[in-house]
Amino acid sequence: MSTMFVARSLDEVRFWSRIMKEHSLFLKLGFRCEDTQLIQEANQFYSLFEDIERKAHTFDVGADPEQIRRFNAEVHTAVSHIWVFKRKVLGLVITCQMPGANNFPLLIDHTSREAYYFRNRLEELNAGKLEPLPDAIISENVFFLRIMADHAKFIGHLLDPSERKLEEQARSFSNDFDTLLFQARDLESMKPQSQTVPLLDQFLDVNRISVKALRDFKKTAKELIDACRIKSIIHPLLADHVYREAERFLAIIDMLDASLPGAKQQSGHAAGDPP
């Protein structure tokens, strides 16, 4: 049990601390030259999460659970601080106090939602209370479907307007994921009656198909950007970042699906285990 706690904790911290580190970079790149204070704060968050990421890789599954519990608490504090920073920047942008800055409010809000998710996961891990499987299936999908819908919107808006075909594809993904998100919210409002195995199984299957398609689209976009074959203002690291988040969502869908009673695939996770 404590090995599971350590493994889960390290997996979450390794994945999300890299994400938080990259958010600091993206936020910094969107600031104006005169925003020196904000640039400095972003740099500090970059170093902070770089250190956390490095530290997370020094532990292995045999680490002392108590030490990992303290590490999780330390990471929790850092994540709370970056969340506050992101919300502050969001406030500045939407009240027009940073004219000419280059970060969309939705992108800043999006990165703050990811921080909130990470913080919540650390709390659950340290409290040792994880959501029951049927609840986890719905809440993880509600969270990640919106994240995917946002990514499609960011890609569409950061492509050069002359990339008409790609922009059209991005818009179509945005519509798909908005629809899937509404479906997920419908299932959520019909809880607990909606939490039958056939409905949850179908829900995961339908979402998986669209996430795979979006993941492949992101992979193609990333390769085209890396090779400088398309016109855009998408940072190559942002393309890779959103690709990794889609891969993470797919892994979570597979893990949840494998935990459903009567699951076709076999996994080492018991029913009731959250992602």
- Contact residues: Fe ion, CB under 5 A: 19, 114, 245
Q: Biggest alpha carbon distance in the chain?
A: 59
Q: Using DSSP, state whether 159 is helix, strand or coil.
A: strand
When the beta carbons of 56 and 242 are compared against Fe ion, the nearer one is: 242
When the beta carbons of 249 and 260 are compared against Fe ion, the nearer one is: 249
CB 147, min distance to Fe ion, A: 5
CB 113, min distance to Fe ion, A: 8
When the beta carbons of 138 and 239 are compared against Fe ion, the nearer one is: 239
CB 19, min distance to Fe ion, A: 5
CB half-sphere exposure, 173, CA atoms < 13 A: 30
8 A C-beta contact, residue 109 and residue 92: no
CB-based contacts of 55-58 (< 8 A; 24+ apart in sequence): 56/10, 56/13, 56/14, 56/17, 57/14
Euclidean distance between CA atoms 271 and 139, whole angstroms = 16
CB 110, min distance to Fe ion, A: 6
Euclidean distance between CA atoms 270 and 275, whole angstroms = 11
Element (H, E) at 199: helix 197-226
Euclidean distance between CA atoms 26 and 23, whole angstroms = 5
Residues in a beta bridge with 9: none
When the beta carbons of 34 and 216 are compared against Fe ion, the nearer one is: 216
CB 5, min distance to Fe ion, A: 25
On the question of a cis peptide bond just before residue 99, with omega within 30 degrees of 0, the verdict is no
Euclidean distance between CA atoms 88 and 79, whole angstroms = 14
When the beta carbons of 74 and 240 are compared against Fe ion, the nearer one is: 240
8 A C-beta contact, residue 13 and residue 56: yes
Nearest Cα residue to 273 out of 131, 69, 127:
131
When the beta carbons of 28 and 134 are compared against Fe ion, the nearer one is: 28
When the beta carbons of 131 and 247 are compared against Fe ion, the nearer one is: 247
When the beta carbons of 121 and 201 are compared against Fe ion, the nearer one is: 121
CB 196, min distance to Fe ion, A: 31
- Which residues are CB-neighbours of 131 under 8 A, at least 6 positions away? 124, 139, 274
CB 221, min distance to Fe ion, A: 14
CB 270, min distance to Fe ion, A: 29
